[in-house]
Structure 1
């Protein structure tokens, strides 16, 4: 599902935790009426503790603070931290806690990442409240102002009141929160929309990318940490490369938190390389960011291009149509391409048998996953 395109927004690209974390904490400390946070990952540690302290301070000055976490992704949040949040006045809810129900329901996770302050400023990206984002994982976020923020608020409110959500904050608490967001002054022409997915039933993020790739005129650059693409995406990328477009993939290298996913995706390298797609594996650290650039269109948010995101998870991305913003994203891509190892087609064709075996093994497991629904 997708929102409508709205003009008059301001989008600020915030690459690296050293930029987006200070910006988020500054916004939290300046909150006057409400804070809405939705995260997949939150585990006890330095970052989670700092976030809890900021939320306690906000609640103490009368701000309505609502924290929505995934029931599986937050299993690493210690009991004392949960108690601290609730004692500090934070309304805390969990989406779809694990239980003795269907496997499909347990696999359905809230993978979205969102921070909204006073209904006026929002942040999204691939971040979470785990210490890996402090220095071990590379991530990118976007700061959002303008009418599109109201769409993020409405998206949060629907899930907060979902029957699958449990916790201390009662349903209906979100009623009365303002969702009328004025245009960001001086930013006429920065168009954006929120696009979201919910398992295999609602594939708006995937379909939006398909449409952009099929209609691309110049470039298609995609960064994703978990690249196990659908047949439809592989076909479109190959066709675009054969048309002479600049098609590049920015993917993780050996520094990966789920190596099996990397091997499952690598089984598609050969045909993509043969079609003219260029593949770069990022070397400095694990790149956890998820963002795409097609001509002057950008999509940035929580969605990976693997079967977990496309078949099971609740996901949401911010789409932006703006030449200046696209130029900033292109510069970011170029810096990362320079810090990556490009996969050469001839060298890839000579890869050893043990590498091919791992691709086959983890590819087979991935294929089984897609048939579980």
Structure 2
């Protein structure tokens, strides 16, 4: 992980923007005005901001830390037509072996298995993993093979789509640090989600555009089954409205930055953020301060001393003073690297995916995050966010908060 991201992160943080976007914008992008935190008002705001529609009839279940591999293996084992996976980091090891074995079995049964990994993040994949997948009939490719003209324009998406009916996304990587429970130094803390329903078509489209760039091919129509709105008895159906927002490099403003600002601006009561590389730009920092001063319960959970990128720790902590002065509360996770990229807005709106609060995500990386309005999903995120705070140190507070000591209304 360290070798894969240190050049990207160091360049982004030290320069404020990667080489591909060093020209200063004449006017930084900044959303203004009021945005609802749910319902038609938020759906319309999302559509006009990133061009993606919220669709109903989705169900989300959380798959945090090493549990995500259990979910992925189970879903791959159920595949009947296709397994499509794009990943920034896939490195040899125990986690890799589990995925290779599952995909190998389905490929030999006639399921189309397509794998796309970023070479910047996947040391050892081409030498040790790709031959095993291809021997079983899987198709595996590197996204923008190195050397490349746009070295920093990498694919940071983390996305699995099975049969076009179920998707998995989050902050995960196929690497052994993602095994375990997030409570040991060698077991990183991350948040991921499994989702079913019509939003999976949008996740499949995100994979398809990267597959097209790499191979020139379109996916077959069978990879886009009709996913009807929720109906009684429909397997996996739910009431949740959801959208998957893909982002790609843009010299002006990316969907990643637009979406992040929209989610922050939508908060009316609370905004709980977990961010692995928390280095907000000036506009985003000002927006977080504005929300806090407006009475919103703004909390940020970031890595502590076990951050895998020391340069990020320095930049992260440099942002604290202005945020704390405005009323933003900040915690640093203690047991291991905290790698999640999530937001909880008020009581119904959640975000999970690959987008970081950093110049790379906001300028040049291929990214993707799931937005969902669902009370149960929000309730579950509230619970594990509070659990994480019990393993974190609040900035400016000597005593580590006890479990359950920082809940809503306390």
TM-score (norm 2): 0.79
Shift of 1:120: 0.6
Answering whether residue 280 of structure 2 is matched by residue 229 of structure 1, we say yes
SS of the residue aligned with 2:222? Answer: coil
After TM superposition, list the pairs within 5 Å mapping 1:1-373 onto structure 2.
1-17=50-66, 19-77=67-125, 79-99=127-147, 101-102=148-149, 105-135=150-180, 136-162=187-213, 165=214, 170-172=215-217, 174-179=219-224, 180-186=226-232, 187-201=237-251, 202-295=253-346, 296-344=348-396
Tell me which protein shows more strand as a share of its residues.
Answer: 1
Could you give the per-residue CA deviations for residues 136-164 of structure 1, whole angstroms, max 9, x where no partner exists?
A: 211111111000101111111111011xx
Shift of 1:326: 1.0
C-alpha root-mean-square deviation of aligned residues, in Å?
1.8
Counterparts of 2:366 and 2:309, CA distance in 1:
20
Counterparts of 2:231 and 2:177, CA distance in 1:
36
Could you give the per-residue CA deviations for residues 21-61 of structure 1, whole angstroms, max 9, x where no partner exists?
A: 11111111111111001100011111112211111101010
SS of the residue aligned with 2:141? Answer: strand
Counterparts of 2:330 and 2:349, CA distance in 1:
20
Counterparts of 1:294 and 1:139, CA distance in 2:
19
The 8 Å contact of residues 270 and 345 in structure 1, kept in 2 or not, is answered as no
SS of the residue aligned with 1:266? Answer: helix
SS of the residue aligned with 1:223? Answer: strand
Q: Which runs of 5+ in 2 are unaligned?
A: 1-49, 181-186, 400-410
Counterparts of 1:346 and 1:273, CA distance in 2:
15
Q: Which runs of 5+ in 1 are unaligned?
A: 348-373
The 8 Å contact of residues 213 and 220 in structure 1, kept in 2 or not, is answered as yes
Shift of 1:301: 0.2
The 8 Å contact of residues 255 and 283 in structure 1, kept in 2 or not, is answered as yes
The 8 Å contact of residues 44 and 78 in structure 1, kept in 2 or not, is answered as no
Counterparts of 1:171 and 1:64, CA distance in 2:
17
Count of aligned residue pairs for this structure pair: 337
TM-score (norm 1): 0.86
Counterparts of 1:144 and 1:190, CA distance in 2:
10
